[in-house]
């Protein structure tokens, strides 16, 4: 297995630019992810990070320099001044920085192959790419994580890169994340469909172009500042199904059976996994996956999610009633009883998830996940219970 480190060198640098000491290196002050490409301190930051990562990976052969989603590029004062010169464009500004990073890597470690995300180059012409000096320096990695990936459009993009002189290219799919920023349980079918589309692309690449491979990405977050995506244990059936899809060319019955047998699951869809009594067929994290599926189902229940909008709460415990402590005691206690039952059931599931998560994740991760996904559901229920408890004794006939 070859390790390919990824070091963001332009966009998605939230992990470093969020720090107060580094804020002056942002392209614009309110965009925490994009590096100002004009400052020497910024270039030094990038080269320092690259050097540190390479030193931590003896024998590394390939390096991914990121460079995706460079938001707000060209909006900073220094960039506007640079762009004021005739003939200069944001595309050239982007390419100038990336080529500088690539040349540094090639000069320092001539044996290292460089990969970068392609999205910032998608709208560029072949002539722009050729003139920049980027051809021959990097291998673009085309990413698209959607189940309805446009095959013809993607093949056309590959043809453009190839015509510009980029013969070695990569693809990138996903097995978790990319669906919704706060999803808890991935849809295996959605991710499998994405891989099926990539297989169609692979079958249509122009002659002479080398499709080097596919990166099956597993997102941890949409970006450094967002919430956690689906945790790895609950996404393993999706990963296995996607790998088998690539191997077999489709998610055939044979492929599905292999996934079920390897992981000891009843379905390739995590949300349809049945709980098991024994431990002999469990993959690491299986118990946590089961409990997350159960908790997520409860958190998504309409009865709980829309509890504050049900007929009884809206009819007899509205904000108007609460503000004036004017409630029907009998109905108030019925609401209290139902909310308390939901809270107790949720807490039971939460305790199980927290305990199982403690074996695989640090406490901070468990705390973050529970606060993000459980808090917004339990807090309104608890508020109703507390309010009814506070003013019911004062109500009467």
Active site residue 69: yes
**Separation between Cα atoms, residue 329 and residue 90, nearest integer Å:** 66
Give me the DSSP letters along 162-204: HHHT--EEEEEEEEESSS-TT-SS--HHHHHHHHHHHHHHHTT
Q: Three-class SS of residue 366?
A: helix
**Separation between Cα atoms, residue 141 and residue 373, nearest integer Å:** 33
Catalytic site residue from 14, 69, 294, 355 = 69
H/E stretch holding 45 reads helix 40-55
Nearest Cα residue to 288 out of 375, 365, 344: 365
**Separation between Cα atoms, residue 78 and residue 115, nearest integer Å:** 28
Helix (DSSP H) and strand (DSSP E) numbers for the chain: 16, 5
Radius of gyration of the chain (CA): 26
Strand partners, 113: 62
Say how many CA atoms lie within 13 Å of 264 toward its Cβ.
15
Q: Please list the active-site residues.
A: 69
């Amino acid at each position: 297995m070859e390790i390919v480190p990824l070091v963001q060198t332009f966009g998605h640098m939230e992990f470093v630019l969020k720090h107060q000491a580094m804020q002056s290196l942002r392209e614009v002050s309110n965009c925490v992810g994009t590096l100002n490409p004009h400052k020497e301190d910024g270039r030094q930051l990038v080269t320092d990070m690259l050097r540190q990562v390479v030193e931590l990976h003896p024998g590394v052969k390939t390096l991914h320099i990121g460079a995706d989603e460079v938001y707000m590029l060209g909006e900073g004062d220094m960039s506007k001044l640079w762009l004021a010169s005739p003939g200069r464009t944001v595309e050239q500004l982007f390419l100038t920085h990336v080529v500088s990073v690539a040349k540094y890597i090639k000069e320092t470690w001539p044996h290292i192959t460089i990969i970068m995300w392609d999205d910032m180059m998608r709208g560029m012409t072949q002539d722009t790419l050729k003139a920049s000096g980027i051809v021959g320096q990097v291998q673009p990695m085309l990413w698209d994580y959607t189940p309805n990936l446009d095959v013809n459009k993607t093949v056309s993009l590959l043809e453009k890169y190839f015509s510009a002189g980029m013969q070695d290219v990569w693809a990138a799919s996903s097995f978790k994340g990319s669906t919704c920023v706060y999803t808890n349980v991935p849809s295996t079918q959605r991710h499998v469909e994405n891989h099926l589309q990539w297989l169609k692309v692979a079958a249509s690449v122009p002659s002479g172009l080398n499709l080097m491979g596919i990166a099956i990405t597993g997102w941890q977050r949409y970006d450094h500042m967002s919430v956690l995506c689906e945790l790895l244990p609950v996404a393993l059936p999706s990963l296995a199904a996607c790998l088998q899809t690539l191997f077999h060319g489709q998610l055939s019955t044979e492929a599905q059976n292999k996934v079920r047998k390897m992981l000891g699951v009843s379905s390739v869809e995590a949300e349809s996994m049945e709980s098991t009594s024994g431990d002999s067929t469990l993959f690491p994290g299986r118990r946590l996956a089961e409990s997350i599926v159960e908790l997520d189902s409860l958190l998504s229940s309409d009865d709980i999610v829309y509890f504050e909008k049900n007929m009884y709460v809206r009819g007899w415990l509205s904000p108007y009633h609460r503000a004036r402590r004017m409630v029907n005691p009998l109905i108030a206690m019925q609401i209290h009883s139902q909310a308390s039952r939901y809270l107790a059931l949720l807490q039971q599931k939460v305790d199980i998830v927290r305990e199982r998560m403690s074996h695989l994740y640090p406490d901070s991760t468990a705390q973050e996940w529970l606060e993000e996904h459980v808090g917004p559901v339990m807090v309104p229920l608890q508020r109703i219970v507390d309010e009814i408890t506070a003013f019911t004794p004062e109500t009467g006939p």
